[in-house]
Amino acid sequence: MKLPISGFIFDSGDNDAQHAHKLFITSWNGSPRQNHIHSFSGTTTVDDGHAHQYVNWTAPAPTGVPHVHNYTTITFESQGHTHTIQGTTGPAIALPSGGHYHRFEGTTTVNGRNPHSHRYSGQTGVDVTNM
């Protein structure tokens, strides 16, 4: 039996050739499936006498099923350098008024004239349908 399926492929940014792309199905047997994204932003911890701010959108994920999102961004420059922030959110946390958000946390890359990293954590904004 053949089912009509449509979707798109998203580059996950992974270096592993076997897992570098993710397939997001937008239609299954004629029924549309939506994907969504979240905003995320914040300020890192103060390390080496300064902090960095960051802002971006998560990678898309399917709506209406248990899921997480990948995220990546470059911090704003401070003290003449930036850091990369990259990871995977926690599972969806439902909001009483509808929608959901995700928590995230991690450590930046090591950069700077005096090599160091920063910790970061926060929660995404509410889900936004992008498809």
**pLDDT reported for residue 60:** 87
Entry pTM = 0.75
- The distance from CA 67 to its chain's CA centroid, rounded to whole angstroms, is 12
Residue 94 inside a domain? The answer is yes
Q: Which stretch of DSSP H or E encloses residue 106?
A: strand 103-107
Please give the span between the terminal C-alpha atoms of the chain, in angstroms, as a whole number.
27
Burial class, 104, CB count within 10 angstroms (exposed 0-12 / middle 13-18 / buried 19+): buried
Residue 16 inside a domain? The answer is no
**pLDDT reported for residue 131:** 45
Give the count of domains, the chain.
1
Residue 3 inside a domain? The answer is no
pLDDT digits (tens), the chain, 131 positions? 676 666 666 565 556 655 566 666 666 666 666 788 999 999 999 999 999 999 999 998 888 778 899 999 999 999 999 999 999 999 999 999 989 999 999 999 999 999 999 999 999 999 887 54
**pLDDT reported for residue 55:** 96
Residues spanned by the domain of 60: 35-129
Residue 93 inside a domain? The answer is yes
**pLDDT reported for residue 88:** 96
Distance CA 71, CA 89 (A): 7
Residue 65 inside a domain? The answer is yes
Residue 26 inside a domain? The answer is no
Q: Are 106 and 124 in contact (CB under 8 A)?
A: no
**pLDDT reported for residue 129:** 78
**pLDDT reported for residue 10:** 58
Residue 28 inside a domain? The answer is no
Residue 25 inside a domain? The answer is no
- The distance from CA 99 to its chain's CA centroid, rounded to whole angstroms, is 17
